Structure 1
Amino acid sequence: MNSSLQHIENWIFDLDNTLYPPDADLFTHIDKRMAYYISVKLNLPLEKSQKLQQDYYLKYGASLVGLYRYHNIDPYEYLAYVHNIEMNSLSPDLELRKSIENLPGRKWIFTNGDQPYAEQVLERRGLSGVFEGVFDIHSSQYRPKPDPSCYQLMLEKFQAEPEQSLFVDDMACNLLPAKDQGMTTVWVNHGLKGQDGHITEGHEKIDYEIYDVGSWLKEITA
């Protein structure tokens, strides 16, 4: 293990575009289902539902938050619908599985999605059974990343000390609250620095910038 990471006991991973490559393009399908669901439920033209979806995403980190707060949308029904997509673009990555299994300590998922969706993705990637648990948007009490409060809730659920925890995410804006709370941070740089695609102020505070999780894990455990 890399000497600078020997203190890490808790390995916390984002899910989407972190544990699978972004060219799997799951969000194109999810976004379409989100817009359609909002259009039907709120009786809006599709163009307006798409704008509302994007506005809530940029404001809260997840479109569901605004829909739940202001339109009384059932979170479980909504997530079951929008995540009902084909995942044929995902395939098992046995090398990634081996690398994660070889990490010393506990491993967790921290996602703005929900647990059933996370479990489907992990199964398609050949990663079922690797992680001890999932902290999802329900666990966050609908205050998802990058809301600082959900990081504290996550650490409490996992019974993890921030100074002994490392968090990997593909969005720099989601890593800054983790860094502020004392976690080691790893940015999987696909160019998505902020929720709106712009550079996140303070992103230089992130500890590691990588381009592929599997390659980086091999490097640090060599």
Structure 2
Amino acid sequence: MTPPRSFSHVDTWVFDLDNTLYPHHVNLWQQVDARIGEFVCNWLNVGPEEARNIQKDYYRRFGTTMRGMMTLHGVSADDYLAYVHKIDHSPLEPNPALGEAIAKLSGRKLILTNGSVDHVDAVLARLGLGSHFDGVFDIIAAEFEPKPAEQTYRKFLSDHSVDPTRATMFEDLARNLNVPHELGMTTVLVVPDGTKEVVREDWELEGRDAAHVDYVTDDLTGFLAGLSHPT
């Protein structure tokens, strides 16, 4: 059995946003999820149950519901993003311990998300983490092709001049770590801590035993603090 990749060589730290930089149990994504359902319902003029089925089908097939709505129904990305990210961010609380752990990592810290920069900014502001990141690659920079598409990771690596063999990726969806691992990145799956209820699809919580997952943690702050990478 091949041992997991280490962190000693890492000079670029890449983080997903939702359910990664804040705990799953905050269920902030549940608000976005509900807004997506409303958007699908209104756009396609279908009932809530049918809209829910369409939403989840597109999510699994296209990587995001938005990609499916754009491809099959001509939806404007700007309209979609503005609608679904209009949520209450107040459940998020400042996390100075996580900020300190991120600050101590040696090298660049970047965010790679299927959300928008506006959503990233709102989340980081609530968490008090805005000053700790050197760049954001969002769904717009990805030309609306979401993770786990290989071209999205390659564009991210190119745009930010990242050597994947010297980078690590933190994600809450195991399927989004497959391509990064193939490209040479060290991969870390961030899972719920198991003490609080989370609102997720069963398949979203799978994959912690996958070969492309080097590490699994239910405590991102503690995991980062345990890495001996002083600046």
Common topology (TM > 0.5): yes
Q: Residue 61 of structure 1: CA displacement?
A: 1.6
What letter corresponds to residue 86 of structure 1 in structure 2?
Answer: D
Counterpart of 2:20 (choices 10, 18, 21) is 18
| Corresponding residue pairs, total | 220
The corresponding residue for 1:213 is 220
> Structure 1, unaligned stretches of length 5 or more?
none
Q: What is the alpha-carbon distance in structure 2 between the residues aligned to residue 129 and residue 77 of structure 1?
A: 29
Q: What is the alpha-carbon distance in structure 2 between the residues aligned to residue 5 and residue 197 of structure 1?
A: 26
Contact 1:171 1:194 in 2 (8 A): no
Contact 2:169 2:185 in 1 (8 A): yes
**RMSD of aligned residue pairs (Cα, Å):** 2.2
Contact 2:142 2:152 in 1 (8 A): yes
Counterpart of 2:225 in 1: which secondary structure?
helix
Counterpart of 2:131 in 1: which secondary structure?
coil
Q: TM-score, normalised by structure 1?
A: 0.92
Q: 1:202 to 1:24 in 2, by over 3 A?
A: closer
Q: What is the alpha-carbon distance in structure 1 between the residues aligned to residue 104 and residue 74 of structure 2?
A: 44
Q: Residue 37 of structure 1: CA displacement?
A: 1.2
The corresponding residue for 1:73 is 75
Q: Residue 4 of structure 1: CA displacement?
A: 3.5
Q: What is the alpha-carbon distance in structure 2 between the residues aligned to residue 35 and residue 171 of structure 1?
A: 21
Contact 2:6 2:186 in 1 (8 A): no
What letter corresponds to residue 76 of structure 1 in structure 2?
Answer: D
Residue 139 of structure 2 is aligned to residue 137 of structure 1: yes
> Structure 2, unaligned stretches of length 5 or more?
none
Quote the sequence identity (%).
35
Q: Residue 96 of structure 1: CA displacement?
A: 0.6
Residue 59 of structure 2 is aligned to residue 57 of structure 1: yes
What letter corresponds to residue 157 of structure 2 in structure 1?
Answer: L
Residue 184 of structure 2 is aligned to residue 182 of structure 1: yes
Q: Residue 201 of structure 1: CA displacement?
A: 9.6
Q: What is the alpha-carbon distance in structure 2 between the residues aligned to residue 217 and residue 198 of structure 1?
A: 21
Q: Residue 111 of structure 1: CA displacement?
A: 0.5
Q: Point out 4+ residue stretches in structure 1 off by more than 6 angstroms.
A: 191-195
Q: What is the alpha-carbon distance in structure 2 between the residues aligned to residue 177 and residue 4 of structure 1?
A: 18
Counterpart of 1:124 (choices 119, 123, 126) is 126
Q: What is the alpha-carbon distance in structure 1 between the residues aligned to residue 201 and residue 31 of structure 2?
A: 21
Within a 5 Å distance, the mapping from 1:56-205 to structure 2 comes to 56-190=58-192, 196-197=203-204, 199-200=206-207, 203-205=210-212
Contact 2:17 2:112 in 1 (8 A): yes
* Residues 143-175 of structure 1 deviation map (CA, whole Å, 9 limit, x = unaligned): 211111111011011111110111000111111
Contact 1:172 1:194 in 2 (8 A): no
Contact 1:58 1:195 in 2 (8 A): no
Contact 1:173 1:203 in 2 (8 A): no
Counterpart of 2:47 (choices 29, 45, 48) is 45
Q: TM-score, normalised by structure 2?
A: 0.89
Contact 1:194 1:200 in 2 (8 A): no
Q: 1:41 to 1:4 in 2, by over 3 A?
A: closer
Q: What is the alpha-carbon distance in structure 1 between the residues aligned to residue 202 and residue 35 of structure 2?
A: 20
